[in-house]
Amino acid sequence: DTGVSQDPRHKITKRGQNVTFRCDPISEHNRLYWYRQTLGQGPEFLTYFQNEAQLEKSRLLSDRFSAERPKGSFSTLEIQRTEQGDSAMYLCASSLSGTGSGATQYFGPGTRLTVL
């Protein structure tokens, strides 16, 4: 396990289509986070899981967005009825729970979504 992986790396879709992204965290990490990054901005928090439970969601996560982590391992982020404003880099991160250096968030390479 060499780190957090995300698939696909790039996705181009037409407005109104549904898309799904996958994130595989570092295997022993029980926390998983989703962030969104638009051009010229830093990453913005979307949601996070501890094991399979989704414990926090940002107001940025509209009802068109849904995230799951069914077995507490990989996670999926689905966007329904995509809009051009959804175009962004979607980042996944994972960490151990607790505090200190063990809770450092490790980021994946991201999935770049372009909505035409």
Partner 1 sequence: AQRVTQPEKLLSVFKGAPVELKCNYSYSGSPELFWYVQYSRQRLQLLLRHISRESIKGFTADLNKGETSFHLKKPFAQEEDSAMYYCALKAGANNLFFGTGTRLTVIP
Residue among 112, 88, 95 nearest 38 (CA): 88
Classify residue 40 by its DSSP letter: T
Nearer to partner 1, 17 or 41 (CB): 41
Q: Is residue 25 close enough to count as binding partner 1 by CB under 8 A? A: no
Nearer to partner 1, 55 or 116 (CB): 55
Which residue among 82, 108, 113, 115 contacts partner 1 (CB under 8 A)? 108
Nearer to partner 1, 37 or 87 (CB): 37
Which residue among 40, 59, 84, 85 contacts partner 1 (CB under 8 A)? 40
Q: How far is the CB of 106 from partner 1 (least distance, A)?
A: 8
Which residue among 27, 28, 42, 59 contacts partner 1 (CB under 8 A)? 42
Which residue among 15, 104, 114, 116 contacts partner 1 (CB under 8 A)? 104
Which positions from 47 through 66 interact with partner 1, judged by CB under 8 A? 48, 55-56, 58
- Those residues whose C-beta lies under 8 Å from the C-beta of residue 88, and which sit 6 or more positions away, are 36, 37, 38, 112, 113
- Token pair, residue 23, equals 């994130």
Residue among 83, 84, 95 nearest 34 (CA): 95
